[in-house]
Every structure is written in C-alpha cells, then in structure tokens.
Amino acid sequence: MFGRIGAPEIILILVVVVLLFGAKKLPDMARALGKSARILKSEAKAMKSEGKDAAAPAEPADQQAAAPRTIKAAPGDVTSRPVQEPADRTTQR
C-alpha cells in the first residue's frame, strides 16, 4: 500500500511543491542545489587527494611555503581563495 509510488502520486507531489514555492523560485532553488552539489564534490575530491598526499613523504617547509594552495569552489567558478594553513609550532619553542 505505501511501498509503491506511481505516476499520480508523483504528479500530486510536484503540484504541491509548485504551489508551496512558486514557479519562479524553483529554477533558482535547483541552481543553488546543483552548485552546492558541485562544491561538495570538489571538496570531497580535494580531501581524498590530501589523504593520498599525506601518505607520500613530506617536503621541507620552505618548499611548501613557496607555493600556496588554493581551493576552487566549483568548476565554473572564477573566484578562488587561498588556504591559510596553520604553522607547525611543535618544533619551535
């Protein structure tokens, strides 16, 4: 009884969504949802590559400071922000 969703139920759900949010706001909401998904995907990919880089031998600190990393928010996004990495203060006293 509740396990199968057919065409009439899907049409009813779509009509309710259009009535609640309005037809003008739906494309903007879909665009924002797509952009959020792209950002999440790129951040997950960056975290995976960081995990693989951590397993590799570390470079000296002077070589890391010469090339700051940047993270792009989305594939089509032109704005990027530099990553501020915390300094390693365990060896400095």
Determine the 3-state secondary structure of 81 from DSSP.
Answer: strand
- pTM score: 0.41
Per residue in 14-73, pLDDT tens? 899 888 888 888 888 889 999 999 999 999 999 988 877 776 655 555 555 556 666 656
Per residue in 25-39, pLDDT tens? 888 888 999 999 999
What residues contact residue 68 under an 8 Å CB cut-off, 6+ apart?
A: 82, 83
In this structure, what DSSP letter does residue 60 have?
P
Domain boundaries, the chain: 23-52
CA distance 58 to 6: 56
In this structure, what DSSP letter does residue 88 have?
-
